[in-house]
Copies of this chain bind each other. A is one copy, B any other.
Amino acid sequence: MTTLSIIDGRVLRPDLTVTAADVLIDQESGTILEIAPDLAGEADETLDAADSLVTPGFVNGHCHVAMALLRGYADDKPLDAWLQEDIWPAEAELTGDDIRVGAELGLLELIKSGTTAFADMYFDVPEIAAAVEQSGLRARLGHGVVTVVKDDEGAREDARTSLEIAREYAGAADGRISTAFMPHSLTTVGSEYLEEFVPEARDAGVPIHYHANETADEVAPIVDEHGVRPLEYAADRGMLEPEDFVAHGVHVDETEIDLLAEAGTGVIHCPASNMKLASGMAPVERLREAGVTVGLGTDGAASNNDLSMLDEARDAAMLGKLAADDASAVPAEAVVDMLTRDSAAAIGLESGRLEAGAPADLAVIDLEKPHLTPRHDLVSHLAYAAAAADVRHTVCDGRVLMRDRDVLTLDEAAVRERALEAADSLVARAE
């Protein structure tokens, strides 16, 4: 057994109390052995956490990491025009190499902002999986299926690709990669394909992840055509199980909130994307009151435009209050749970809590900053004031991915250089 000890820090426990302690980790199993004072002497390797907060690694429940290559490519447009005029044409030009470097760029940003696990929907998933394997992060990956712009053969091929990817990559990268079947949304995949392939996904034992109720424009066509709300429509097609999770859930009514709570299906709230695309305000306080597990996601960098989960936490606390018209709604404590254990639970991972036996996925945050001074309440600081650059170290599966801001698994300067070149070439091709 080789061990790592995170020493002299203040450790954020699952009940959100903070205690001065070391964290002893078994690197072979990638789990936490013990959290207690003075464990440094027992460890093979140590990581300094003096004047720092040791938190569970953040869990990004909905992302398209490779879209980091499209950061700032097109902004300030409504979802539909933005996708059709800018994003889809650019994506049509992306090569496998582009996806790989875009993914590496996104993963660098995740590591540098303390995120240790994420769920991702995109295409060319083998490229993304290879980047994840190299990065040391944990991920639930899937191929996004869109059938509405394809003929029947193309549609079936797309759905089969998503199923095959879900089967093939489950358990890859020493178990750090898990998968899901990922129909893009309830309006971009025809009902006949959902009816055919969702049961196959169930048989394969993979969860299902999709965008749902993101904009008002997505709700109306389903109500018009099928006479039920989108999540009733999803439930009728077997897509609302405890292992499934939906992104957004902005325009959900009371019936759908009850359905989600009864089904145990998690919702990934993406406040920055929902604001930037003027999609609306998800009823986060109401969802949580009803017992729905609400996680947090950044969505892609093109609609955010960063992948820092600390930004997302602050946005979620603030937007949640506005949505509820109540400044006591979605308090700091709720947001910290959403950022860590609730996001993990929603996407079916065990991480997001620091206790013996849990996965050794964590971030160490430097408190010696003016904007984190004084220290009336460290949970408040995590929700409202801490920023990506405050993260000193990132550890996933017991392995140090970043030490003192230096990423150890990816070559930061080389990835940035390749991304600049790939972006220039992409723009030249797309124009």
Contacts and interface: CB of A to CB of B under 8 A. Distances in A.
A318 interface: yes
Contacts of A246: none
Interface residues of A, number: 73
A75 B331 contact: yes
A73 B420 CA distance: 43
A331 B246 CA distance: 29
A328 B77 contact: yes
Contacts of A82: 327
A324 B385 contact: no
A71 B412 contact: no
A72 B416 contact: no
Contact of A77 (B113, B275, B327): B327
Contacts of A321: 76, 275-278
A380 interface: yes
A226 interface: no
Nearest to A368: B416
Count identical subunits in the complex: 2
A422 B375 CA distance: 11
A424 B328 CA distance: 25
**Could you say which of A276, A311, A376 has the most chain B C-beta atoms within 10 Å of its C-beta?**
A376
Contact of A376 (B71, B377, B380): B71
A383 to B, nearest CB: 8
Interface string A301-312: 100111110010
Interface in A315-332: 315, 317-319, 321-322, 324-329, 331-332
A171 interface: no
Contacts of A304: 384
Closest 4 CB pairs of A and B: A374-B423, A389-B389, A275-B318, A72-B380
Interface of A: 68-73, 75-79, 82, 105, 108-109, 112-113, 272, 275-278, 280-281, 301, 304-308, 311, 314-315, 317-319, 321-322, 324-329, 331-332, 368, 370-371, 373-377, 380-381, 383-385, 387-390, 412-413, 415-416, 419-420, 422-424, 427
Given A82-B327, A278-B327, 14 more contacts: A71-B371, A75-B384, A76-B328, A77-B328, A79-B327, A276-B318, A276-B384, A278-B329, A301-B385, A315-B318, A370-B416, A374-B423, A387-B387, A389-B389
